[in-house]
Structure 1
Amino acid sequence: MFVLLKKEVRGFLSSLIGYVVIAVFLLVNGLFLWLFASDFNILDFGFASLEGLFMLAPFVFLFLIPAITMRMFAEEYRLGTIEFLFTKPLSDMRIITAKYLAGVILVLFSLLPTLIYFFSVYQLGLPVGNIDTGGTWGSYIGLLFLGAGFVAIGLFASSVSGNMIVSFLLAVFLSLFFYIGFDFIHSLELFGQIDLFIKAMGINTHYISMSRGVIDSRDVIYFISLIAFFLLLTRLSLESRKW
């Protein structure tokens, strides 16, 4: 599995896609957080906070992560190498896990440079260091979990179709639905007592909870369950294509 994981990571970093994804993520966030007059601009907040980053980054990930994952299985189908992949002495789940972890590693590579924003705001605060450190680190952990969830969703979308455009669009739709779709359904107040349960099914509820700086086990369990659910769906999708 580790050989396949290294191959996947090397594939991202030896082609333009890995660097383009990281560069676009940093560019979009940098422009909106520091230059453009917007609700995300750090300098317009009036106090030392990275709240703008953690509001904007999920929407950037909504499009960039599907761009990463759309090729993971769809390209194997297109090139006809999927059969060769399954002849390797690896179970389907190990193959899926290797590809999944490669995507998560690329998400992590995208987030690491944004630590410059944290240290910049830390120094800009009056007095120096006047920033909610606990909330910031909680938000980073939440953003990593959110990205990991989007990777699992995107991997499933890639396993469904051999067309990368279809995989991309399906991943964007599913990620968007799980991010804010349940909040929208909850806001309609159609289901009475189960409205809160519906809201708790969405990613945003648990992401916001983590951003408070307190890592609740319920939020961690939610993200792990979401990831496991879509990885299982990916396995079922791949198995259905063998018949």
Structure 2
Amino acid sequence: MISLLKKEIQSFLGSLIGYIVILVFLTTIGLMMWIFPGNNNVLDSGYASIDTLFAVAPWVFMFLIPAITMRSFSDEKKAGTIEFLLTRPLTDVQIILAKYLAGVILVVIALLPTLVYFGSVYYLGSPSGNIDLGAMWGSYLGLIFLASGFVSIGIFSSSITENQIVSFIIAIFLCFFIFIGFDFISSLSLLGNIDLFILKLGISEHYNSMSRGVIDTRDAIYFVGLIALFIVLTKTVLSSRKW
């Protein structure tokens, strides 16, 4: 499994897509935080905060993570190497986890340079260091959980088709719906007490909770459950080839 994980990471970083994803992410966040005028601009807002990063990143990840994961299984199917991969001395779960962890590691690599933004805001504060560290680290943790959930959705989407573009579109739709779709449905107030339950099914509610610096085990359990659900669904899809 470790060798497959290394191969997947090398595949990402050995091609342009990995670097393009990282560059697009950092450029988009940088422009929003420092260049484009408005409330999201740190210098215009007058507050020592990197909330813009945590507000914009989910929407950027909604497109970039499907771009990372769309090749995971689709490419294997199209190239005809999926059968060889599945006959290796690895279980389906190990293969899925290797591809999943490779995607998560690439996202974490993309997030590491954003600590420069944190350092800049930290020293720009008056007095220096006047920033809510608890909320910031909670937001980073929430963002990693959110990205990990998106990666699991992307891996699943890639497993159900051999067309990378179709995989990309399906992943974007699922990420968008699970992120904000349940919020929209609950806001219609059509189901009474069930509306709150529907709200809790969405990523946004749990991500926003962690972004406030509140580390609730229920939020962590939600993300772990979401990731596990799509890994199980991916395994089911791969296993169906053997039926």
Q: Which runs of 5+ in 1 are unaligned?
A: none
Post-superposition shift, 1:43? 1.7
CA distance in 1, matches of 2:38, 2:24: 18
For 2:84, the equivalent position in structure 1 comes to 84
CA distance in 2, matches of 1:82, 1:214: 42
Matches within 5 A, 1:156-167: 156-167=156-167
CA distance in 2, matches of 1:130, 1:220: 28
* CA deviation string 1:4-45 (max 9, x = no partner): 000000111111111111011001111111101244222222
Query: Does residue 107 of structure 1 match 2:107?
Result: yes
Post-superposition shift, 1:239? 1.2
Comparing 59-68 and 31-40, the one that deviates more: 31-40
Q: Which runs of 5+ in 2 are unaligned?
A: none
Cα RMSD for the two superposed structures: 0.8
Structure 2 SS opposite 1:172: helix
Query: Does residue 134 of structure 1 match 2:134?
Result: yes
* CA deviation string 1:43-92 (max 9, x = no partner): 22221111111100000000000000000000000100000001100000
CA distance in 2, matches of 1:39, 1:234: 41
Matches within 5 A, 1:159-198: 159-198=159-198
For 1:231, the equivalent position in structure 2 comes to 231
For 2:153, the equivalent position in structure 1 comes to 153
* CA deviation string 1:142-187 (max 9, x = no partner): 0000000000000000001000000000000000001000000011
CA distance in 2, matches of 1:39, 1:163: 40
Matches within 5 A, 1:191-230: 191-230=191-230
CA distance in 1, matches of 2:234, 2:38: 38
* CA deviation string 1:187-228 (max 9, x = no partner): 100110011110000001000110111210000000000000
Aligned residue type for 2:57: A
CA distance in 2, matches of 1:39, 1:165: 35
* CA deviation string 1:97-125 (max 9, x = no partner): 00000000000001000000101000000
Post-superposition shift, 1:240? 1.5
Query: Does residue 71 of structure 1 match 2:71?
Result: yes
CA distance in 1, matches of 2:22, 2:38: 22
For 2:98, the equivalent position in structure 1 comes to 98
Post-superposition shift, 1:242? 2.9
State whether residues 69 and 103 of structure 1, in contact with CA within 8 Å, keep that contact through their aligned partners in structure 2: yes
For 1:61, the equivalent position in structure 2 comes to 61
What is the TM-score with the length of structure 1 in the denominator? 0.98
CA distance in 2, matches of 1:56, 1:121: 17
Aligned residue type for 1:197: F
Post-superposition shift, 1:241? 2.6
For 2:40, the equivalent position in structure 1 comes to 40
How many residues are aligned here? 243
Runs of 4+ aligned residues of structure 1 deviating over 3 Å after TM superposition are none
State whether residues 40 and 55 of structure 1, in contact with CA within 8 Å, keep that contact through their aligned partners in structure 2: no
For 2:124, the equivalent position in structure 1 comes to 124
